Amino acid sequence: MPTMQATMTPRERLFAFLDGQPTDRTPMWMLFPYHTTSYYVDVRTNPAYVPVFKATKDRAIMLNRRNPKAPIFTSNVEIKYEDIKQDGTSINRTTWRHGDNVLTSEWRRKGSSVTRKHMLECEADLEILATFPIETDPARLHAELDKALPQYLAEREEFPEQYGSMMLDLGEPIGFVYHNANLEEYAIWSMTHNDVVIAILDKLMQRWRAIYQWALNKKLAEVYFLVGSELASPPMVSRDTFQQWVVPYAKQIIDMIHDADCRAIQHYHGQIKMVLPDFLTMGADAIHTIEEPPVGDCTLDEAFDIVGDRAGLIGCIQYDNFRSDTPEQMAEAVRRQLKQTEGKRFMLSPSAGPFDKNPPQRVIENYLAFIEAGWNG
């Protein structure tokens, strides 16, 4: 494929893609943000990745993903953190207490052995959580979020707008339950305690509605990233559960985002084919990622057959391939996806961002091969 003349900035390419408008070339997103996060390597300052960052300038879209935090519970829920040494074991314990009701989580580390006790280990814990007061007061939530505002505004001022956009990742109700649950029990609750989970999600949604309203009223970002859909989906739970635990809450959030003239991208790893029609119900502007077999269960052709041009698809070269492929294989994989999706509403992307602070040289070579092939075809 010959090199195409660039007529758009990455930012212009991003919003044309999200709005279903033509782009001068296939957009490319490498996932890493401009400013430091806890979950990815800082590509701007880590010496190994600096060549990768430089190669993205004026080529790849950058979404500067940020995560301001607010409390889950009201102030009358006592939270106690303990670091304990016991018979050579390091114990990190968190205790939540509301009246006579108590929940705890623990990490135990001894040598190379690590064990975890979740906040929600059994149905009794879930029922206790249902009694805890969730913080839903907008004034109190906004006051906590405002503490992070000066740093966020400074980062927004520093971010070169032509690279793309600020992007807020504020979470979804299902995330709190999922990340605090014993997942074997969690799946069972979809059959035995479905009403309890939904009651908790309904209370949590009041909190999240206030959080999104804070950001949208202040016009803090033009793009929002939703990461909850993969947390309650087949094969862990049924599609019916997905439609109860995820779809109505994500749809409310996305409707709020669109009412504020902003854009929403939904993230999903894994077997998406069965639930992909539900993403059209939720209404995001784009879906990341479509993982083809053997990692996922949906080819790009199958995904486009389902969504058409009603949502942009962001699809992916698996992160493991950045370790295993040769640069020639990486470039060929990129060119194959570009050919497969030519003329369609598609953005090229890895499946995950860089998390190895000391990457093998092959990883860097493959990032550079990915960017070069993504740009020149």
Co-location of 104 and 232 in the same domain: no
**What pLDDT shows up at residue 197?**
98
What span, in angstroms and rounded, lies between the C-alpha atoms of 248 and 259? 16
Tokens in use for 48? 């190994």
The string of pLDDT tens digits covering residues 205-247 is 999 999 999 999 999 999 999 999 999 999 999 999 999 999 9
Structural domain tally of the chain?
A: 2
Question: Which 3 state secondary structure label does DSSP give 105?
Answer: strand
The string of pLDDT tens digits covering residues 345-366 is 999 999 999 989 999 999 999 9
Q: Examine residue 162 and state whether it is found in any structural domain, yes or no.
A: yes
Co-location of 273 and 308 in the same domain: yes
CATH number at residue 338: 3.20.20.210
Percent residues over pLDDT 70 in the chain: 99
Q: Examine residue 5 and state whether it is found in any structural domain, yes or no.
A: no
Co-location of 247 and 135 in the same domain: yes
Q: What is the mean pLDDT of residues 274-279?
A: 98
**What pLDDT shows up at residue 5?**
64
Q: What is the mean pLDDT of residues 59-86?
A: 97
The pLDDT mean for the chain works out to 96
The owner of tokens 């505002």 is: 149
Q: Examine residue 277 and state whether it is found in any structural domain, yes or no.
A: yes
Q: What is the mean pLDDT of residues 135-154?
A: 98
Q: Examine residue 309 and state whether it is found in any structural domain, yes or no.
A: yes
Co-location of 94 and 185 in the same domain: no
**What pLDDT shows up at residue 334?**
98
Q: Examine residue 372 and state whether it is found in any structural domain, yes or no.
A: yes
Co-location of 108 and 169 in the same domain: no
Q: What is the mean pLDDT of residues 270-293?
A: 97
Co-location of 280 and 241 in the same domain: yes
CB-based burial, 143-162: b 16+ in 10 Å, e otherwise: eebeeeeeebeebbeebeee
**What pLDDT shows up at residue 2?**
39
Co-location of 96 and 113 in the same domain: yes
Whether the predicted pLDDT of 89 surpasses 50 = yes
Whether the predicted pLDDT of 1 surpasses 50 = no
Co-location of 189 and 95 in the same domain: no
Co-location of 18 and 109 in the same domain: no
Co-location of 104 and 253 in the same domain: no
Co-location of 212 and 105 in the same domain: no
Q: Examine residue 236 and state whether it is found in any structural domain, yes or no.
A: yes
Structural domain range at position 111: 78-117
Confidence of residue 3 (pLDDT cuts 50, 70, 90): very low
Q: Examine residue 4 and state whether it is found in any structural domain, yes or no.
A: no
Strand pairing class (62-66; 164-168): parallel
Whether the predicted pLDDT of 260 surpasses 80 = yes
Confidence of residue 6 (pLDDT cuts 50, 70, 90): confident
Co-location of 98 and 243 in the same domain: no
Q: Examine residue 3 and state whether it is found in any structural domain, yes or no.
A: no
Whether the predicted pLDDT of 377 surpasses 90 = no
**Which of the listed residues 61, 93, 117 is the one where a domain comes to its end?**
117
